[in-house]
Amino acid sequence: MPTRRTAPASGVRGRRARAGVPRPGARGTPPAAPPQSAAVFRTELLALASAEQRRKYARFFPGDDSFAGVRMGDVFTLAKAAIELPVAEIETLLEDDVHEVRAGACSIMGKASTARRVAPERHAELVALFLRRHDRVDTWDLVDLTAHQVLGTWLLDRPRDPLYELAEARDWPRRRTAIVATAAFLRQGQVDDTLALAERLRDDPEPYVQRGIGWMLRTVGDVEPDRLRGFLAQHAGAMEAAALRAAVEKLPAAERKEWTSS
Express each pLDDT in 189-238 by its tens digit: 999 999 999 999 999 999 999 999 999 999 999 999 999 999 999 999 99
What mean pLDDT is predicted for residues 44-48?
A: 97
Mean pLDDT (the chain) is: 90
Mean pLDDT of all residues in 170-197:
98
Answer whether 169's CB lies under 8 Å from 175's CB: yes
Give the pLDDT confidence score for residue 32 in this predicted structure.
Answer: 56
8 A C-beta contact, residue 189 and residue 170: no
Element containing residue 91 per DSSP (H, E): helix 87-94
- When pLDDT is averaged across residues 224-253 and rounded to a whole number, the result is 96
What is residue 27's predicted lDDT score, i.e. its pLDDT?
Answer: 43
Spatial distance between the Cα atoms of 44 and 80, rounded to a whole number of angstroms? 13
Q: Percent of the chain having pLDDT more than 70?
A: 87
pLDDT at 156: 97
The amino acid present at 180, given as its one-letter code, is V
As a residue count, the chain comes to 262
pTM, full prediction? 0.86
- With a CB cutoff of 8 Å and minimum separation 6, the contacts of 182 are 148, 152, 163, 193, 194, 197, 216
Helix 38-46, helix 99-113: angle, nearest 10: 120
Res 168: pLDDT: 98
User: What are the sequence ranges of the domains in the chain?
Assistant: 1-154, 163-262
Q: Can you give the pLDDT at residue 262?
A: 67
* pLDDT tens by residue, 95-154: 999 999 999 999 999 999 999 999 999 999 999 999 999 999 999 999 999 999 999 999
CATH of segment(s) 163-262: 1.25.10.90
pLDDT digits (tens, 9 = 90+) for 99-113: 999 999 999 999 999
Question: Looking at residue 3, what is its pLDDT?
Answer: 43
Q: What is residue 25's predicted lDDT score, i.e. its pLDDT?
A: 36
Q: Which pLDDT score, from 0 to 100, does residue 30 have?
A: 52
Count Cβ atoms below 10 Å from residue 78 Cβ, excluding itself.
Answer: 25
DSSP state letter for 134:
G
Q: What is the mean pLDDT of residues 65-69?
A: 96
Q: C-alpha 21: how far from its chain's center? A: 12
Judge whether residue 17 has pLDDT over 90: no
Mean pLDDT over residues 6-24, rounded?
A: 43
Query: Mean pLDDT lowest for which of 24-28, 52-56, 86-90, 140-144?
Result: 24-28
